[in-house]
Amino acid sequence: MLSFLPAPVRGVLAALLLVLNTLIHFSLLLPCALLKLLPIKSLQVLCTRVMIRIAESWICCNSAWMRLSGQTQWDIQGHEQLKYEGWYLVTSNHRSWVDILALQHTLNRRMPMLKFFLKQELIWVPIIGLCWWALDFPFMKRYSKAYLAKHPEKAGQDLETTRKACAKFKNTPVAVFNFLEGTRLTPAKHAEQQSPYRHLLKPKSGGVAFVLDAMGDKLRSLVDITIHYPDGSPSFWDLLCGRIRQVVMRCQIRPIPGEFLGQDYQNDAAFRERFQQWVNGLWEEKDALLAQLHSEYPPLAGRG
């Protein structure tokens, strides 16, 4: 609707709308977050459900300014079978910071709200960090191999943190999300890894295995999402300016093999190898699908 304006002007207006949207919904979320601190189980569950509705409203408003700023074509397939009441494990390839808003725009109110595993440091992001905490987004503290070699007592804390986070998910339907690549794909990272995949980085299966260990009694389906941007990986500024012409997304719902539920990924070497082989097989299929999408959806004309 604002396509008659220069892209930078659209970007500034969209950024202002995003900030305003966040402040308004934060003001609604904060009282619920404070009430949730009371040690009353039924009240905590109720506050969680109300805060999820508030977050879904925030996502809807983000979708509104995205439509206002640009005329993105959304080519989505496979999401019709998703159900709002249920527990899902969700993964996707990772191309851009835009991925998260694109996923929220596509999946909002079609399935439970996506819950991401976040770095511990992100809890200090103004306003948004507090919102993530209130909504029970799990914060993970990562340790390097060198650090763990000096402090072996820290080994296994990721699993314990995952278990504590997932315990909160058992009362309310949830979609636990994990970028298996762990970081955004760039040519430099692809070359550094010597990735065997043409369009993907190597997958990291540990985080997903920990979730299946902690929530094996709830999770039965994997929602495997493949994202392709025909014009190349966009920046967040491109999204604000409405310069993303097309987003192609494919969703595949896969059963999670029962043998992978409630297993000890960290200490069972045989299980770890089987699980990694399963994940690598998923990644080979995803790489082939991305090759097909690159062929079917070549780069469009220059961005506006």
Taking residues 28-37, report their average pLDDT: 94
What rounded mean pLDDT belongs to the chain?
Answer: 89
CA distance 63 to 69: 10
- Cα angle, residue 269 at apex, residues 265 and 275 outer, rounded to 5°: 55
By the 10 Å C-beta count (0-12 exposed, 13-18 middle, 19+ buried), 295 is classed as exposed
Q: Is the dihedral of CA 276, 261, 161, 271 positive or negative?
A: negative
Give the pLDDT score at 302.
45
Tokens 């609707």, residue?
1
- The pTM for the full model equals 0.89
Task: Could you please state the CATH topology (level 3) that the domain comprising 73-296 is classified under.
Answer: Glycerol-3-phosphate (1)-acyltransferase (3.40.1130)
In angstroms, what CA-CA distances link 209 with 18, 167, 183, 281? 35, 15, 18, 15
Residue type for position 32: C
- The residue with greater pLDDT, 158 or 303, is 158
Residue-wise pLDDT for 124-165, tens only, equals 888 998 899 899 888 776 655 666 567 666 666 666 767 777
Cβ–Cβ < 8 Å for 209, 275: yes
**Domain-wise residue ranges, the chain:** 73-296
Give the pLDDT score at 142.
63
Residue-wise pLDDT for 57-96, tens only, equals 999 999 999 999 999 999 999 999 899 988 899 999 999 9
